[in-house]
Amino acid sequence: MNSQCPIPPFNSERVLLGHGGGGLLSQKLLKDVIAFELKETLLPQNTDATYFNLSLPNGFSTHQQSELSLTTDSFVVDPIFFPGGDIGKLSIVGTVNDLAMMGCYPQALSLSFILEEGFLISDFIKILKSIRDELLNLNIKITCGDTKVVPCGKADKIYINTTGVGIRISPQGWRPQSIQEGDQIIISRDIACHGLAILNQRNNLGLSSSISSDCHELLTPTMALIQEGLEIHCARDLTRGGLVSAIIEIASVANKQIELNEELIPKSPAAQSAAELLGLDLLAIANEGTCIYFLPKECVSEALRILCSFSFMERAAVIGSVGADSKNGRGLLRLPTGLTRNLKLPPGEVLPRIC
Amino acid sequence: MNSQCPIPPFNSERVLLGHGGGGLLSQKLLKDVIAFELKETLLPQNTDATYFNLSLPNGFSTHQQSELSLTTDSFVVDPIFFPGGDIGKLSIVGTVNDLAMMGCYPQALSLSFILEEGFLISDFIKILKSIRDELLNLNIKITCGDTKVVPCGKADKIYINTTGVGIRISPQGWRPQSIQEGDQIIISRDIACHGLAILNQRNNLGLSSSISSDCHELLTPTMALIQEGLEIHCARDLTRGGLVSAIIEIASVANKQIELNEELIPKSPAAQSAAELLGLDLLAIANEGTCIYFLPKECVSEALRILCSFSFMERAAVIGSVGADSKNGRGLLRLPTGLTRNLKLPPGEVLPRIC
Q: Which residues contact B201 (CB under 8 A, 6 or more apart)?
A: B79, B82, B83
Best mean pLDDT range from A65-69, A298-302, B171-175: A298-302
> Radius of gyration (Cα) for chain A, nearest Å?
21
pLDDT at B267 exceeding the cut of 80: yes
pLDDT at B58: 80
- Nearest Cβ partner for A49 among B47, B69, B108: B69
**Could you tell me the pLDDT band of residue A65, with boundaries at 50, 70 and 90?**
low
User: Minimal Cα–Cα distance from B251 to chain A, Å?
Assistant: 11
pLDDT at B158 exceeding the cut of 80: yes
Strand pairing of B158-168 and B104-116? Answer: antiparallel
CB atoms under 10 Å from CB of B148, counted, come to 26
**Which of A76-90, A139-153, B16-30, B172-186 is predicted least confidently?**
B16-30
The pLDDT of A282-307, averaged and rounded, is 97
Helix (H) or strand (E) holding A330: strand A330-334
B352 — contact with chain A (CB < 8 Å)?
A: yes
pLDDT at B353 exceeding the cut of 80: yes
pLDDT at A9: 47
CB atoms under 10 Å from CB of A352, counted, come to 20
pLDDT at B142: 93
Residues of A in contact with B54 (CB under 8 A): 66, 68
Query: pLDDT over 70 for what percent of chain A?
Result: 93
Residues 301-340 of A with CB under 8 A from B: none
Among residues B317, B218, B331, which one has the least CA distance to residue B281? B331
Cα distances (angstroms) measured from residue B166 to each of B54, B296, B342: 9, 25, 35
- Nearest Cβ partner for A76 among B2, B114, B345: B114
User: For residues B300 and B225, is the Cβ–Cβ distance under 8 A?
Assistant: no
Q: Do B110 and A51 touch (CB under 8 A)?
A: no
Phi, psi for residue A125 in degrees, rounded to 5: -65, -40
- Mutation site for A-interface testing, chosen from B71, B114, B142, B219 by largest number of A Cβ within 10 Å: B71
User: Minimal Cα–Cα distance from B73 to chain A, Å?
Assistant: 6
User: Minimal Cα–Cα distance from B94 to chain A, Å?
Assistant: 10
pLDDT at A268: 95
Residue A187: CA atoms inside 13 Å, Cβ hemisphere, count? 25
pLDDT at B27: 83
pLDDT at A55: 74
**Could you tell me the pLDDT band of residue A8, with boundaries at 50, 70 and 90?**
very low
The pLDDT of B7-12, averaged and rounded, is 52
Number of helices (H), then strands (E), in chain A = 9, 14
User: For residues B85 and B160, is the Cβ–Cβ distance under 8 A?
Assistant: no
**Which of A130-144, A166-180, B57-71, B173-187 is predicted least confidently?**
B57-71
A2 — contact with chain B (CB < 8 Å)?
A: yes
Q: Do A48 and B71 touch (CB under 8 A)?
A: yes
Beta-carbon contacts below 8 Å between A and B? 282
pLDDT at B62 exceeding the cut of 80: no
> Mapping DSSP to helix (H, G, I), strand (E, B) and coil, where does residue A221 land?
helix
Residues of A in contact with B69 (CB under 8 A): 49-52
CA–CA gap between residue B170 and residue A41 (Å, rounded): 28
- Nearest Cβ partner for B53 among A66, A98, A145: A66
- Mutation site for A-interface testing, chosen from B70, B101, B175 by largest number of A Cβ within 10 Å: B70
- Mutation site for A-interface testing, chosen from B146, B169, B218 by largest number of A Cβ within 10 Å: B146
Q: What is the full DSSP assignment across B207-275?
A: --TT--------HHHHHHHHHTT----EEEE--TTHHHHHHHHHHHHHTEEEEEEGGGS---HHHHHHH
B155 — contact with chain A (CB < 8 Å)?
A: yes
CA–CA gap between residue A82 and residue A159 (Å, rounded): 15
> What are the tens digits of pLDDT across the range B232-243?
999 999 998 899
ipTM of the complex: 0.92
pLDDT at A155: 97
Q: Which residues contact A198 (CB under 8 A, 6 or more apart)?
A: A77, A78, A79, A82, A213, A286, A351, A353, A354
CA–CA gap between residue B93 and residue A152 (Å, rounded): 28
Strand pairing of A104-116 and A144-150? Answer: parallel
Residues of B in contact with A161 (CB under 8 A): 72, 74, 112, 161, 163
CA–CA gap between residue B177 and residue B233 (Å, rounded): 9
pLDDT at A57 exceeding the cut of 80: no
Residues of B in contact with A345 (CB under 8 A): 23-24, 27
CA–CA gap between residue A12 and residue B282 (Å, rounded): 29
Q: Which residues contact B58 (CB under 8 A, 6 or more apart)?
A: none
Cα distances (angstroms) measured from residue A179 to each of A67, A232, A250, A258, B166: 20, 9, 9, 10, 32
- Mutation site for B-interface testing, chosen from A52, A349, A351 by largest number of B Cβ within 10 Å: A349
pLDDT at B7: 44
Q: Which residues contact A186 (CB under 8 A, 6 or more apart)?
A: A292, A293, A295, A300, A303, A304, A307, A316, A317, A318, A319
Residues of A in contact with B154 (CB under 8 A): 76, 155-156
> What are the tens digits of pLDDT across the range A231-261?
999 999 999 889 999 999 999 999 999 999 9
A104 — contact with chain B (CB < 8 Å)?
A: yes
Question: What residue in B sits closest to A345 (Cα-Cα)?
Answer: B23
Q: Do B74 and A175 touch (CB under 8 A)?
A: no
Q: What is the mean pLDDT of chain A?
A: 90
* Most distant CA atoms of chain A, gap in Å: 67
Alpha helical stretches, state H, B14-148 = 24-28, 36-38, 87-100, 121-138
CA–CA gap between residue A67 and residue A70 (Å, rounded): 10
**Could you tell me the pLDDT band of residue B187, with boundaries at 50, 70 and 90?**
very high
Helix (H) or strand (E) holding A135: helix A121-138
B18 — contact with chain A (CB < 8 Å)?
A: yes
Question: What residue in A sits closest to B109 (Cα-Cα)?
Answer: A70
* Angle in degrees, CA B239, B69, B249, rounded to 5: 40
Task: Tell me: cis bond preceding B336? Omega within 30 of 0 counts.
Answer: no
pLDDT at B66: 58
Q: What is the full DSSP assignment across B170-218?
A: SSS---GGG--TT-EEEE-S-S-HHHHHHHHHHHT----TT--------
pLDDT at A324: 97
Among residues B106, B128, B165, B97, which one has the least CA distance to residue B15? B128
The pLDDT of A144-153, averaged and rounded, is 93
> What are the tens digits of pLDDT across the range B332-341?
999 999 999 9
Residues 228-247 of B with CB under 8 A from A: 236-237, 239-241, 245
pLDDT at B8: 47
pLDDT at B311 exceeding the cut of 90: yes
The pLDDT of B123-152, averaged and rounded, is 94
User: Minimal Cα–Cα distance from A327 to chain B, Å?
Assistant: 17
pLDDT at B65 exceeding the cut of 70: no
pLDDT at B17: 82
pLDDT at A32 exceeding the cut of 50: yes
Q: What is the full DSSP assignment across B111-150?
A: EEEEEETT-BHHHHHHHHHHHHHHHHHHT--B-EEEEEEE
Q: What is the mean pLDDT of chain B?
A: 90
Q: Do B74 and A113 touch (CB under 8 A)?
A: yes
CA–CA gap between residue B304 and residue B228 (Å, rounded): 12
pLDDT at B175 exceeding the cut of 70: yes
**More reliable by pLDDT, B50 or A321:** A321
- Mutation site for B-interface testing, chosen from A4, A30, A68 by largest number of B Cβ within 10 Å: A68
Residues of B in contact with A67 (CB under 8 A): 51, 53
pLDDT at B2 exceeding the cut of 50: no
The pLDDT of A138-164, averaged and rounded, is 94
- Nearest Cβ partner for B21 among A71, A73, A240: A240
Residues 33-62 of A with CB under 8 A from B: 46-54
B175 — contact with chain A (CB < 8 Å)?
A: yes
